[in-house]
Structure 1
Amino acid sequence: MQKLTSDDLGRILRECAGESEKFQWDETVLDTTFDELEYDSIAILEAAARIQQEYGIRVEDESIPDLVTPRAFLDHVNRLPTSPS
């Protein structure tokens, strides 16, 4: 299974919702909340859908509200199994 990296998540979020005007995506943002980074729940849901398409990893919609930082999101995603193709 390919691990989702911070760079991958940043790229996907930029593609889904654009660049945050307050922050540049790097390792320092991993513990910043998505709200502070100006990514709303719709952006996170879109990112989850893109991750499923690109990586075959399904992030359940119900888990999204608990994943409030990029680090929490990455940790969660990287523990999930890939879906069979």
Structure 2
Amino acid sequence: MATQHFTLEDLKRILLEGAGADENVDLNGDILDTEFEELGYESLALLETCGRIEREYAITLDDSVMSEAKTPRALVAAVNEYLAPVAPVAA
């Protein structure tokens, strides 16, 4: 079974498609640990981003993901937790 993996590049693409980019922010720079608010993405933009991630990757994120994932690194890690295959339970 193929395992999906969510990357920073995937996140950047979805952010740009959903909310665009603040012209004062370079998403190609080192943004992994920069808070979304500093990048110009408020809660509504992040809500749209999470919705796009859910649709594209066929997952359902907990509401806490949006409120707790304050940086791209945290959001990428959270999404990848949902995409990780569940190990079968031994009988």
TM-score range, shorter chain: 0.7 to 0.9
TM-score, normalization by structure 2: 0.81
Bigger radius of gyration among the two: 2
Which of residues 45, 49, 70 is equivalent to 1:68?
70
Deviation at 1:63, TM superposition (A): 2.5
Which of residues 10, 13, 16 is equivalent to 1:11?
13
C-alpha deviations, 1:13-46, integer Å up to 9, x for none?
0111111222222361010000000001111111
Aligned to 1:77: 79
Taking only the aligned residue pairs, the percentage that are identical comes to: 41
Of Structure 1 and Structure 2, which has the larger fraction of its residues in helix?
1
What is the DSSP-based 3-state SS (H/G/I as helix, E as strand, rest coil) of the residue aligned with 1:29? coil
TM-score, normalization by structure 1: 0.86
Instruction: Provide the aligned length of Structure 1 versus Structure 2.
Output: 82
Compute the RMSD of aligned alpha carbons: 1.5
What is the DSSP-based 3-state SS (H/G/I as helix, E as strand, rest coil) of the residue aligned with 1:28? coil
